[in-house]
Amino acid sequence: MASENLDKRFELIQETFSNPEFKTKLGRILSEMSPSELAYVIESSPPHERKIIWDLIQLDTEGEVLGELDENLREDLLAGMNPEEISIAISDLEVDDLADILQTLPEKMTNDVLSLMNSRDRGRVEKILDYPEESAGGLMNTDVITVRAENSIELVMRYLRFLKELPHNTDDIYVVSKNDEYLGILPITKILTSDPNLTVREVMDTEFKPLNIESNQIDVYNQFKTKDLFSAPVVDSKNHLLGRITVDDIIEVAVDEVEQDFIGFAQIEEDIFASPKKSIKNRVLWLSINLLTAVLAAASISFFEDVIQKVVYAAILMPIVASMGGIAATQTLGIYIRAEAMRQLNRKNFRYLFRREFIVALANCIVFSVLIYGITSFWFADTALSLAIALAMVFNLLAAAIFGFMFPHFLRKFGYDPAIAGGVVITTFTDIIGFVSFLGIVSFLIG
Q: From 143, 312, 163, select the one nearest 234 (Cα to Cα).
A: 143
Measured between alpha carbons, how far is 127 from 231 in angstroms, rounded to an integer? 20
pLDDT value for 9: 64
Q: How far apart are CA 305 and CA 441, in angstroms?
A: 14
The alpha-carbon radius of gyration of the chain (Å, integer) is 29
Judge if 87 and 184 occupy the same domain. Answer: no
pLDDT, one tens digit per residue, over 36-62 is 888 888 887 877 788 888 888 887 788
Residue 216 pairs in a beta bridge with: 135
pLDDT value at residue 159: 93
Q: Which amino acid is at 383?
A: T
Mind listing the pLDDT tens digit for each residue in 91-111? Answer: 777 777 777 788 777 888 888
Report the number of secondary-structure helices (H) and strands (E) in the chain. 22, 6
Helix (H) or strand (E) holding 59, with range, is helix 59-68
Distance CA(78)–CA(102), nearest Å, equals: 10
pLDDT at 248: 82
Report the mean per-residue pLDDT for the chain: 81
Q: Within this chain, do residues 135 and 7 fall inside the same structural domain, yes or no?
A: yes
Q: Mark whether 153 and 133 lie in a shared domain.
A: no
For 20, 229, 349, the CA distances from 281, given in Å and listed in that order, are 36, 42, 39
What's the pLDDT score for residue 317?
86
Residues with pLDDT less than 50, the chain = 262, 266, 268-269
Q: Do 280 and 428 reside in the same domain of the chain?
A: yes
pLDDT at 447 (0 to 100): 59
Indicate if 340 and 439 belong to the same structural domain.
Answer: yes
Residue 117 inside a domain? The answer is: yes
**Predicted pLDDT at 180:** 92
Q: Which residues face 185 on adjacent strands?
A: 174, 205
pLDDT of res. 269: 47
Say whether pTM exceeds 0.85.
Answer: no
Domain identity same for 380 and 281: yes
Is residue 260 a part of any domain in this protein?
no
Residue range of the domain that includes 309: 275-445
Which domain-ending residue is among 102, 121, 139?
Answer: 139
Strand locations in 197-299, DSSP E? 211-212, 231-235, 241-246
Q: Are residues 327 and 203 in the same domain?
A: no
**How many residues are there in the chain?**
447
Residue 81 backbone class (left: φ over 0; alpha: ψ -120 to 50; beta: rest): beta
What pLDDT is stored for residue 3 in this prediction? Answer: 58
Looking at 117, 139, 161, the residue that finishes a domain is 139
- Residue 205 is classified by DSSP as B
For residue 111, the domain's CATH number is: 1.25.60.10
Same domain, 185 and 313: no
Q: How many domains does the chain have?
A: 3
pLDDT of residue 271: 55
Judge whether 257 lies within some domain: no
